[in-house]
Amino acid sequence: MNDASITVESDALIQLAGITKTYGRGQAEFQALKGVDLSIRQGEFVAIMGPSGSGKSTAMNILGCLDTPTSGAYLFEGVHVENLSRDQRALLRRNYLGFVFQGFNLLARTSAQENVELPLLYRGETAEARHEIGMAALRSVGLEEWAHHTSSELSGGQQQRVAIARAIVTNPKVLLADEPTGNLDSKRGHEIMELLVSMNRDHGITILMVTHEPDIAAYAKRIVHFVDGEIALDDENGGAA
Amino acid sequence: MGWTTLLLALREIRRNLMRSFLTVLGIVIGVAAVVTMVTLGNGATQSVSDQISSLGSNLLMLRPGQRMGHGSSGAPSFNAEDAEAIKTQVSSLKAVAPTVSRTSVVVVGTKNWATSITGSNSDYFTAGNWTLEEGRFFNATEERAGKAVCVIGATVRKELYEAHSPVGDSMRIKQFSCEVIGVLAAKGQSAMGRDQDDTVVMPLRTVQRRLTGKQDVTTILISMQDGASTEQVTNQLNVLMRERRKLSDNEDDNFSIRDTKEIAQTLSGAIGTMTALLGAVAAVSLLVGGIGIMNIMLVSVTERTREIGIRLAIGALEKEVLMQFLTEAVVLSAFGGLVGLLLAAVACYGLAAMLSLPFLFSPSINLLAFGFSAAIGVIFGYVPARRAAQLDPIEALRHE
């Protein structure tokens, strides 16, 4: 299954080669990805666009190590992710990836601080370290004052900021954002994008973002268009806002 | 991770306090029921074995008829001569007390009290391990003459007399009056739950003449010397009584010899069986409590699917999620067990006092019940925990 002929690009953080993903069997078989090749370098800000059903979400799940490809190779810093076990992928997510979702996905009835500290808990940090790093992350998204408020006491924009703080608290190499502004009005959406841009610029975090809004995608340095399970267009975005 | 997992579990329980409480209610009741049943059962058994010594050790009861409780129906009674014959012809005996009992109302001044009047000799007090609170037992002269003297039990004294000593007073029984010469020290309930102190003892002849009007003796109490062989004495008694009652070889015994120790043992055996049975019924409720925990944990897993998805996405390992949910179940059930033990201690304390049973705290049953409740958490928490751990993070995140 693995493509032995893959040429490893030394400067690539993420490399997809001939990735396919098939759901179902027989008559109901549906090929969501039909051979995707993609290479992403450290420090890039990539927007993934495409109509629904184009395979962008499937690609995002595979990139986020939440799902495995049916065939093809996925190299993360030269490591074949498609060969990793479920727990090994979990460790990879824990140590190298951060997630921001459209629906924020904070723990209910839990304070902002506890939400942000959650990934540190799984990394086995001490309570003291968790508190310190967690508060620093909250400070970086400008919500230090809101540390003790639960998710339901925060606005949508604030919740997404907490989610971003949670995603970057482990200092990940890659931040995967799935429609991060989808549930926000345009003003809050742009604020979130400014925040992501600064994370990318100031902390060098590689960002992969799925969106269908062109003005949100415009913040990225590179835009990848998916159509029918294949990459239709991959271009450098000259006019970043 | 261990300590953190525990903290996470506690936080989750605190977040749903009401639901957690209702979840563990089954365990609380189950543990409380099991521990209460067994503790009270042990108390009852203990109380019965206490009765063995209060009845008098090495005591045999000779009664007409074959079965206990059937009284003298059909079979002829004994008489004072039978007792005399036993005393002279059977070896290794300490006391032989022919007895006849009658229930009658006793009147003192304006008060009256229905009690059991027993006629016997002074051996009765030896055989029954009775001691005096005050006064004296009756003597041989009074026995022979059938004098109207009586020794009363602690209950009768309490019911009929004020603080003053009844010794020297007279009480009226039917048409005759009788002088109180002694008060017995209290013995409490018998193994059958009868109040042994609710009694009046008089010389046998007095009761026969004035109350029953017959020469019959219904029971002969025989106390053996220490170290005497029950089997030998029983055999001798059997031969003697068959001879005296003129039974031919092919006739069955029309009397029975009961070893009180044997009765007590049978009783404690029966109580033990009851305890085991009630304990088993209570254990079933513990099991139902466990199923309740599983039910709630399954609901909880469904309800928290998204949360599990988040945890998995940010890198929680399968076993970490498993441990989190398992810990929650175990903490819940162990806590329920602990509350159950406290409840049982309170219930046992109250019930033991109410049923006048001794309260025997048993560390082993408490430990066992607690261990069992924790084990229930593991057993019934495992399925929901595994379901949580094996969720697909993508599906879980999409869950509404």
Grade residue A240 by pLDDT with cuts at 50, 70 and 90: very low
In this structure, which amino acid lies at residue A1?
M
Cβ–Cβ contact B397 with A under 8 A? yes
For A26-43, what is the mean pLDDT? Answer: 91
Residue B69, domain member (yes or no): no
CA dist., res. A89 & res. A67, Å (int): 9
Dihedral, CA of residue A215, residue A219, residue A220 and residue A225, to nearest 10: 0
Residues in chain B: 400
Shared domain for B335 and B382, answered yes or no, is yes
pLDDT tens for residues A173-203? Answer: 999 999 999 999 999 999 999 999 999 999 9
Percent of all residues in chain B with a pLDDT value above 90, rounded to a whole number: 30
Cβ–Cβ gap B313/A166 under 8 Å:
no
Residue B136, domain member (yes or no): yes
Grade residue B191 by pLDDT with cuts at 50, 70 and 90: low
Shared domain for B360 and B312, answered yes or no, is yes
- Counted domains in chain B: 2
Shared domain for B274 and B249, answered yes or no, is no
**Residues of A whose CB is below 8 A from B312:** 90
**Residues of B whose CB is below 8 A from A124:** 1
Q: How far is B394 from chain A (nearest CA, A)?
A: 7
Angle at B323 between CA B322 and CA B324, to 5 degrees: 90
CA dist., res. B88 & res. B248, Å (int): 23
Cβ–Cβ under 8 Å, residues B5 and B323:
yes
In sequence order, which residues have a C-beta less than 8 Å from that of residue A132 and are 6 or more positions away?
A: none
Q: How many CB pairs under 8 A join A and B?
A: 56
Shared domain for B108 and B236, answered yes or no, is yes
In DSSP notation, A174-232 reads: EEEEESTTTTS-HHHHHHHHHHHHHHHHHH--EEEEE-S-HHHHTTSSEEEEEETTEEE
For B39-58, what is the mean pLDDT? Answer: 76
Cβ–Cβ gap A87/B318 under 8 Å:
yes
Of residues A41 and B163, more confidently modeled: A41
Is the pTM value of this prediction over 0.80? no
Cβ–Cβ gap A93/B4 under 8 Å:
no
Among A107, A123, A178, the residue to mutate for chain B (most B Cβ within 10 A): A107
Cβ–Cβ gap A86/B315 under 8 Å:
no
Shared domain for B247 and B282, answered yes or no, is no
Cβ–Cβ contact B317 with A under 8 A? yes
The pLDDT, as a whole number, for residue A227 is 93
Shared domain for B318 and B227, answered yes or no, is no
Shared domain for B21 and B123, answered yes or no, is no
Residue among A66, A86, A106 whose CB faces B318 most closely: A86
Cβ–Cβ contact B163 with A under 8 A? no
Shared domain for B249 and B367, answered yes or no, is no
Q: Which of B187, B219, B253 is the last residue of a domain?
A: B253
Grade residue A4 by pLDDT with cuts at 50, 70 and 90: very low
Residue B71, domain member (yes or no): no
Cβ–Cβ contact B316 with A under 8 A? yes
Shared domain for B287 and B248, answered yes or no, is no
**Residues of A whose CB is below 8 A from B309:** 105
In this structure, which amino acid lies at residue A4?
A
pLDDT tens for residues B199-223? Answer: 999 999 999 998 888 888 989 999 8
pLDDT tens for residues B272-323? Answer: 888 888 888 888 888 888 888 888 888 888 988 999 999 999 999 999 999 9
Grade residue B192 by pLDDT with cuts at 50, 70 and 90: low
Residue B43, domain member (yes or no): yes
Residue among B315, B318, B393 whose CB faces A122 most closely: B315
Interaxial angle between packed helices B260-303 and B17-55, expressed in degrees from 0 to 180 and rounded to the nearest 10: 170
Shared domain for B205 and B344, answered yes or no, is no
Residue B346, domain member (yes or no): yes
Domains and CATH numbers, chain A: 43-68+85-236 (3.40.50.300)
Residue among B1, B15, B315 whose CB faces A90 most closely: B315
Mean pLDDT is lowest, of B12-16, B110-114, B310-314, for B12-16
Residue B70, domain member (yes or no): no
pLDDT(A241) > 60: no
Shared domain for B88 and B169, answered yes or no, is yes
Shared domain for B104 and B247, answered yes or no, is yes
The overall average pLDDT reported for chain B is 86
Cβ–Cβ under 8 Å, residues A65 and A89:
yes
**Residues of B whose CB is below 8 A from A91:** 315, 317
For B366-380, what is the mean pLDDT? Answer: 90
Q: Which of B230, B253, B276 is the last residue of a domain?
A: B253
Query: Which domain does B231 fall in, by range?
Result: 77-253
Residue B67, domain member (yes or no): no
Please name the residue of chain B whose CA is at the shortest distance from the CA of residue A60: B394
Cβ–Cβ contact A166 with B under 8 A? yes
- Give the strand pairing for A71-76 and A79-80: antiparallel
- For A22, the 3-state DSSP assignment is strand
The pLDDT, as a whole number, for residue B292 is 85
The pLDDT, as a whole number, for residue A238 is 54
Cβ–Cβ contact B309 with A under 8 A? yes
For B137-148, what is the mean pLDDT? Answer: 90
Cβ–Cβ gap B314/A122 under 8 Å:
yes
